[in-house]
Homo-oligomer: A and B are copies of this chain.
């Protein structure tokens, strides 16, 4: 069995894999352009380098292990057609992402931007308008593993959590669950509207000007899912007219966000360059997921974790 790593891992991580899986032939620090791709049974990749041309060259490919959560830019139907198993690392993002969401929320409530800006002036100024997170209400779009972790932390701060999903099925760490149909009616109660939704045919354009208008004029809209949930022009207009209070965006319709994009310059918008899942533990945790599935593979079992359904895209 041949496994090609299309990204770099640490030497001690390479040695641990060789040691744990002696029957496997690993090709580390490889690239999609290497000829080894033609015989690889498995490609371990961040995903964005996989296109139909690559699939055509990877004639022996049986499993794509994607060390990422979103796979919407991958040729999913071509992968399905070729009967290639595709798995991701869904779940490993929850800790760093939830910490990032809480960091941004608390920063806004506790005057962190003003404290940093004030320090530059070296002036002792105490007229800060800090408010408390305690007693707020958060509406979380897409309460999966990441959304539930955000909900758990918010609840510890005394925040009421409302989860929104397709089916209305109950989810842990949510005080209330609603469906997409009930969203417009529920938005007026939320102080924070947090999306961690993937990009799927159902979620693209889910939020419109109407949704922003339904929110409190102090509401904070946070997008940590995918940029195409809302038309950015609509969002810019709403922020410019103070229809909502603030936006914190980690994802955008086009990434990198172009230098001339209006979002960079809006005083009530925080632009985070798609880094909320960053953590020194990212690769380490990805390898844990990979090893679990590799053990299952070598045992000829089929109960893989984190399998992606190419049709739904998650």
A contact residues vs B (CB 8 Å cutoff): 95-96, 99-100, 102-104, 106-107, 109-113, 115-116, 118-119, 122-126, 128-134, 152-153, 156-158, 255-257, 259-260, 264-265, 270-276, 278-281
**Number of copies of this protein chain within its complex:** 2
Complex partner residue of A99 from B116, B119, B133, CB under 8 angstroms: B133
A113, B111: Cβ atoms under 8 Å?
A: no
Chain B residues with Cβ under 8 A from A264's Cβ?
119, 122
Q: A126-B274, A273-B125, A275-B126 are in contact. Are A109 and B103 (CB under 8 A)?
A: yes
A281, B132: Cβ atoms under 8 Å?
A: yes
Chain B residues with Cβ under 8 A from A128's Cβ?
273, 275, 278
B110, A100: Cβ atoms under 8 Å?
A: yes
Q: A130-B279, A131-B279 are in contact. Are A259 and B112 (CB under 8 A)?
A: no
Complex partner residue of A259 from B123, B153, B281, CB under 8 angstroms: B123
Chain B residues with Cβ under 8 A from A265's Cβ?
122
Chain B residues with Cβ under 8 A from A107's Cβ?
103, 106-107, 112
Q: How far is the CB of A173 from chain B (nearest CB, A)?
A: 11
* Interface residue SS majority, chain A: loop
B104, A280: Cβ atoms under 8 Å?
A: no
Q: How far is the CB of A260 from chain B (nearest CB, A)?
A: 8
Q: How far is the CB of A284 from chain B (nearest CB, A)?
A: 11
Q: A103-B106, A130-B278 are in contact. Are A115 and B156 (CB under 8 A)?
A: no
A260→B123 CA distance, assembly (Å): 10
B106, A102: Cβ atoms under 8 Å?
A: yes
A122, B275: Cβ atoms under 8 Å?
A: no
Chain B residues with Cβ under 8 A from A111's Cβ?
275, 278
Chain B residues with Cβ under 8 A from A158's Cβ?
95
A193→B95 CA distance, assembly (Å): 22
A275→B116 CA distance, assembly (Å): 13
Q: A106-B106, A111-B278, A156-B153 are in contact. Are A130 and B273 (CB under 8 A)?
A: no
